[in-house]
Copies of this chain bind each other. A is one copy, B any other.
Amino acid sequence: MSEMSRKEETKNNLLDAFWELYKEKPLTKITVKEITDKAGYNRGTFYTYFVDINEALEILKASLMPDKDMIINPFIELKDNDGKIIEPIEGTNDYLKKNGEKIAVLLGPKGDPGFVHELKARLRQIIINYAEDLEIKEVEDFEYVIEYHIAGLISMYQLWLEKKQNIDEESLGLVYEKTAYDGALSVINHMLNDTK
């Protein structure tokens, strides 16, 4: 572990305690006293670091936001003009390894819609910037396709976590690829017609 001032340490302890509670119950039921009790501080101390509980959550969310330079790859496989998949950006996997559990909670049914919203907006922006470099024409339309795909992907991943990984990662990957490249409705119709 790296050096840490007392200030930083206390703040982290408070955030950790808050997170433990956040995993268990809705924001409305969490009190400052609970947080500080759990972290082992006086209630007043909380207010030297945060103006209220909401701010604590905002700080947590911000710390989980990916940098601009990360994360493209697990969400979308961009290909260049020759059809070659653009290489994943370094650090993405570390990011997910470190924050995956928390992110899963925020994406889940007790999670935070603001987080999901911001996350999607960022990913969209990253991809759109890339597209603008290529002087793409139908930018508005493009944005909607991206949105559809990002949301679908996040949600698929979230469902997988919720179902306790009931299928293995490879299978999920295959389903994902088929869906994303052939079209969800095509795949569905195909599956339906296979039955007869």
A145 touches B28 (CB 8 A): no
A140 touches B167 (CB 8 A): yes
Residues 153-180 (chain A) with a chain B CB within 8 angstroms: 153-156, 159-160, 166-167, 171-172, 175-176, 179-180
Q: Which of B26, B153, B154, B192 contacts A134 (CB 8 A)?
A: B192
A155 touches B120 (CB 8 A): yes
A117 touches B113 (CB 8 A): no
Q: Which of B114, B154, B160, B183 contacts A182 (CB 8 A)?
A: B183
Oligomer: number of copies: 2
A191 adjacent to chain B (CB < 8 Å):
yes
Q: Is the interface of A mostly helix, strand, loop or mixed?
A: helix
Q: Which residues of B contact A187 (CB under 8 A)?
A: 145
User: Footprint of B on A, CB under 8 Å?
Assistant: 26-29, 53-54, 76-79, 81, 83, 108-114, 116-118, 120, 131, 134-138, 140-156, 159-160, 166-167, 171-172, 175-176, 179-189, 191-196
Q: Please, could you name 11 A-B residue pairs with CB atoms under 8 Å apart, sorted by A?
A: A81-B192, A135-B195, A136-B195, A141-B175, A142-B191, A145-B179, A146-B184, A151-B151, A151-B156, A182-B182, A182-B183
